[in-house]
């Protein structure tokens, strides 16, 4: 089964898709929204970034999980390394810098010291392409995108944190059985035997203590939340939904308790990868 | 006292800064980070967008509240209207679209139907400038930026939701007394007499039920959370801090209870504006 990922060639999504695809074909799309749309048709998996340890949640992916019928089949962690690259321009000679907004946020310290104008781009690969096309410019980009556009890496590892990791999700509209072709998906338990489940909770009404009652259901069953992230419900400012990941085999009992106090969208249970 | 805001001329930040500044001077900076740095010196207020009802929290502002000594003096809500604008190109004739990533997210439905390549820019004003400079192109921009660059508005109100609102914060390193010059800041109670406080909670260690215990302190005092937003702690993936706003006069008793179980950074209490 094919994997749809965010392109163009040389993005971190593309790099990871190639790594996990085995013999499967990787197809690239220009937006995360398109990746969700392709995966929703059921003819391929989708691979999407969901959170970065430095820059936080990826809004387009959270919206895709909220708005489409896609569920989570697997998770992956990918260490992120950013580089300053150019076509023969030394670091001191860069007059303008191309950077994706997320990459900019993740390399903000280095970029600030550089002190040159930054132009935002749609992807790290686009940054590399623009640096090749515009004399005197440089790009923040991945090793693989620099290589694709034959740029020199003039400063490696310019990210703020050496601990910079992005978590990716493999998505599919299926309800639990994954037809294989991707070896990692076939696993049903991790090395540690742990699994996690993801849900979206929509409190719908806002009253003091409601989120407390929701978390009380987890505390009552001694279930560990591995992540909680709020997002606008899009019903108006001050109204939120919560993306929650928790460690559990199936979460069945917990979810039925939660459904008594709020609307729950189940995103699936899957192997918990070690970071 | 001057107000520092995100420029260039024609951004929503600039528009709001002019509206609230009275006789004060408005100075524009190219990044939110620079606005925080200026405000931290204590010689001006800073005006920064903190959340949008459609696109969610503004990472750079949340990071500024986490990393600098700035506190919140006031909040403002601003309805956001996006427009398709061009220099004489009709909507059907746009071959490329300039858009800020947040504006893109807020107008994603209209832009998708348009079906043309999108180039991301650093601000709505930059989008307008680029549409003026590049024949056959269009921009997603505000009325005020379109006017500054003498573009025609060819489709008004292209945002996904007519309820699109951005919340802004007025920041300053001061500890409670605001020297005036900005009429709104002088108010100590809103029309409804309500005030809110903002804090950042860093649980530091992760154990099952910790967030539940934290929210229990609010529930115990029947204090209503108006917002909770998680952000990476930047100590590694899976580690978060929480931005919490709650309705209270001073929050003193609540905050001292919270400090017994987690690290709390106080961001100040201020007049709660009606949306």
Give the pLDDT score at A224. 85
pLDDT on residue A226: 87
Say which residue the tokens 């061009």 belong to: B86
Report the complex ipTM: 0.82
Burial bucket for residue B195 (CB in 10 Å: 0-12, 13-18, 19+): middle
CB environment A238-256: b (16+ within 10 A), e (fewer): bbbbbbbbbebeebeebbe
Average pLDDT over residues B217-238: 88
Let me know: does B124 contact B12? Beta carbons within 8 Å. yes
Predicted pLDDT at A190: 62
CA-wise closest residue to B271 among B195, B192, B185 = B195
Q: Are A140 and A158 spatial neighbours (Cβ–Cβ below 8 Å)?
A: yes
Interfacial B residues in 212-271 facing A (CB < 8 Å): 212, 215-216, 218-219, 222-232, 234-240
Chain A touched by B143 (CB under 8 Å): no
A133 to chain B, any CB pair closer than 8 A? The answer is no
Q: What is the pLDDT of residue A102?
A: 82
Is residue B208 within 8 A of residue A223, CB to CB? The reply is: yes
Is there a contact between B240 and A234 if contact means CB atoms under 8 Å apart? Answer: no
The HSE-up count of residue A261 (CA atoms within 13 Å, CB side) is 16
Name all domains of chain B by residue range, CATH numbers in brackets: 1-79+164-185 (3.40.190.10), 83-155 (3.40.190.10), 187-275 (3.30.70.260)
- Answer yes or no: is pLDDT of B188 > 60: no
The pLDDT, as a whole number, for residue A166 is 94
* CB-based contact, A155 to chain B, within 8 Å: no
pLDDT at B267 over 70: yes
DSSP element (H, E) containing A104 = helix A101-106
Give mean pLDDT in consecutive 10-residue pieces for chain A, a chain of 275 residues: 89 91 90 92 93 89 94 93 96 93 88 88 88 96 94 96 92 62 51 86 80 90 88 86 90 92 93 83
- Are the Cβ atoms of A226 and B238 closer than 8 angstroms? yes
For residue A71 the two structure tokens come to 């569920």
Three-state SS string over B100-149 comes to CHHHHHHCHHHHHHHCCCEEECCCHHHHHHHHHHCCCEEEEECHHHHHHC
Q: Does A181 touch chain B (CB under 8 A)?
A: no
pLDDT at A1: 81
- pLDDT higher than threshold 80 for residue B269: yes
Q: How far is B250 from chain A (nearest CA, A)?
A: 18
Which residues are CB-contacts of A11 (< 8 A; sequence separation ≥ 6)? Answer: A5, A123, A124, A125, A142, A145
Number of Cβ within 10 Å of residue A37's Cβ equals 17
Q: Which of residues 23-52 of A touch B (CB under 8 A)?
A: 33, 51-52
- Cβ contact A87:A139 at 8 Å: no
Q: Sort out which chain A residues have CB atoms less than 8 A from B54's CB and list them.
A: 232, 234
User: What pLDDT score was predicted for residue A218?
Assistant: 92
A68 touches chain B (CB under 8 A): no
Across chain A, where does the E strand assignment appear?
Answer: 2-6, 26-29, 44-52, 56-57, 71-79, 83-86, 96-99, 118-120, 137-141, 152-155, 165-172, 195-202, 225-232, 240-247, 263-271
Q: Do A208 and B222 touch (CB under 8 A)?
A: yes
Q: Look at residue B177 in the predicted model and tell me its pLDDT.
A: 43
Q: Residues B113-167: pLDDT tens digits? A: 998 988 888 788 889 999 999 999 999 999 999 999 999 999 999 999 988 999 9
Taken in order B191, B194, B199, B201, the sign of the CA dihedral is: negative
Measured between beta carbons, the chain B residues lying within 8 angstroms of A163 are 235-237
pLDDT value at residue B189: 56
Mutate to test the interface with A, among B29, B35, B56, B274 (most CBs of A within 10 A): B56
Query: Which chain B residue has its CA at the smallest distance from A117's CA?
Result: B30
Q: Which residue in the set A77, A211, A232 is minimally distant from B56, CB to CB?
A: A232
Cβ-based contacts of A207 with chain B (< 8 Å): 224
Cβ separation B227–A212 shorter than 8 A: no
Structure tokens at B176: 């409670």
């Amino acid at each position: 089964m094919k994997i749809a990922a965010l392109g163009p060639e040389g993005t971190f999504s593309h790099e990871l898709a190639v790594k996990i695809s085995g013999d499967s074909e990787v197809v690239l799309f220009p937006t995360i929204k398109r990746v969700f749309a392709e995966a929703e048709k059921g003819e391929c998996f989708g691979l999407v970034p969901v959170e970065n340890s430095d820059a936080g949640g990826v809004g387009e992916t959270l919206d895709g999980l909220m708005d489409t019928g896609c569920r989570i089949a697997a998770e992956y962690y990918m260490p992120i390394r950013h580089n300053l690259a150019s076509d023969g321009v030394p670091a001191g000679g860069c007059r303008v810098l191309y950077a994706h907004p997320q990459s900019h946020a993740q390399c903000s310290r280095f970029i600030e010291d550089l002190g040159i104008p930054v132009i935002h781009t749609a992807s790290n690969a686009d940054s590399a392409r623009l640096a090749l096309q515009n004399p005197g410019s440089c790009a923040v980009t991945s090793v693989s995108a620099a290589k694709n556009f034959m740029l020199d890496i003039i400063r490696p590892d310019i990210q703020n944190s050496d601990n910079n990791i992005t978590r990716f999700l493999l998505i599919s509209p299926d309800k639990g059985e994954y037809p294989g072709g991707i070896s990692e998906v076939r696993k049903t338990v991790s090395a540690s035997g742990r699994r996690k489940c993801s849900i979206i909770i929509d409190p719908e009404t806002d009253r003091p203590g409601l989120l407390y009652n929701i978390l009380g259901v987890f505390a009552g069953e001694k279930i560990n939340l591995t992540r909680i992230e709020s997002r606008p419900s899009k019903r108006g400012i001050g109204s939120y939904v919560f993306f929650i990941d928790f460690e559990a085999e199936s979460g069945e009992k917990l979810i039925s308790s939660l459904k008594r106090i709020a609307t729950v969208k189940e995103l699936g249970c899957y192997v918990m990868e070690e970071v």
